[in-house]
Amino acid sequence: MTNATEQAVLQLAVLVGSLRAQSFSRKIAKALTARAPDSLRCRFIEIGELPLYNEDLEGDPPAAWSAFRAAIRECDAVLFVTPEYNRSIPGCLKNALDVGSRPFGKSVFKGLPAGVVSVTPNKLGAFGANHALRQTFVFLDMPVMQQPEAYIGNAAELLDANGAVKSSDTAAFLENFMGAFETWIKTTRPGGSSFDAFMKQREKIAEDYVNGDATSLKAIVTHSEPATFFSPRGDHLEGADTVAGRYERDATSFHEGGSTDLEVLQASASGELAFWTGLQHARARMGKNGEPTEMTLRVTEVFRLEDGAFKLAHRHADPAH
Ligand X SMILES: Cc1cc2nc3c(=O)[nH]c(=O)nc-3n(C[C@H](O)[C@H](O)[C@H](O)COP(=O)(O)O)c2cc1C
Which residues are at the interface with ligand X (CB under 6 A)? Answer: 18, 20, 23-25, 83-87, 119-122, 124, 126
**DSSP letter, residue 59:** G
Q: Please say which residue, 124 or 172, places its beta carbon nearer to ligand X.
A: 124
Q: Please say which residue, 96 or 244, places its beta carbon nearer to ligand X.
A: 96
Q: Please say which residue, 110 or 134, places its beta carbon nearer to ligand X.
A: 134
Cα of 187 vs its chain's centroid, Å: 14
Q: Residue 90 CB, nearest distance to ligand X (Å)?
A: 7
- Among left, alpha and beta (phi > 0; psi -120 to 50; other), residue 200 is alpha
Q: Residue 83 CB, nearest distance to ligand X (Å)?
A: 3
Q: Please say which residue, 76 or 84, places its beta carbon nearer to ligand X.
A: 84
Q: How far apart are CA 164 and CA 250, in angstroms?
A: 62
Q: How far apart are CA 42 and CA 109, in angstroms?
A: 16
Taking the chain, what is the end-to-end CA distance rounded to the nearest angstrom?
A: 21
Please, are residues 293 and 254 in contact by the beta-carbon 8 Å criterion? Answer: no
Q: Residue 154 CB, nearest distance to ligand X (Å)?
A: 10
Q: Residue 132 CB, nearest distance to ligand X (Å)?
A: 10
b or e along 160-170 (b: 16 or more beta carbons within 10 Å of the residue's beta carbon)? Answer: eeeeebeeeeb
**Which of 295, 299, 302 lies closest to 316, judged by CA?**
299
Q: Residue 260 CB, nearest distance to ligand X (Å)?
A: 52
The radius of gyration of the chain's CA atoms, rounded to the nearest angstrom, is 24
Q: Please say which residue, 86 or 162, places its beta carbon nearer to ligand X.
A: 86
Q: Residue 33 CB, nearest distance to ligand X (Å)?
A: 15
Q: Please say which residue, 25 or 33, places its beta carbon nearer to ligand X.
A: 25
How far is residue 10 from each of residues 76, 140, 221, 291, measured CA to CA in Å?
Answer: 6, 21, 26, 43
Q: Please say which residue, 49 or 55, places its beta carbon nearer to ligand X.
A: 49
Q: Residue 13 CB, nearest distance to ligand X (Å)?
A: 18
What is the DSSP track for 189-249? STTSSHHHHHHHHHHHHHHHHTTT--HHHHHHB--SS--EEE-TTS-EEESHHHHHHHHHH
Is residue 102 helix, strand or coil? coil
Q: Residue 144 CB, nearest distance to ligand X (Å)?
A: 20
Q: Please say which residue, 15 or 221, places its beta carbon nearer to ligand X.
A: 15
Phi, psi for 280 (deg, rounded to 5) = -110, 110
The strand pairing partners of 292, in sequence order, are: 285
Is residue 31 helix, strand or coil? helix
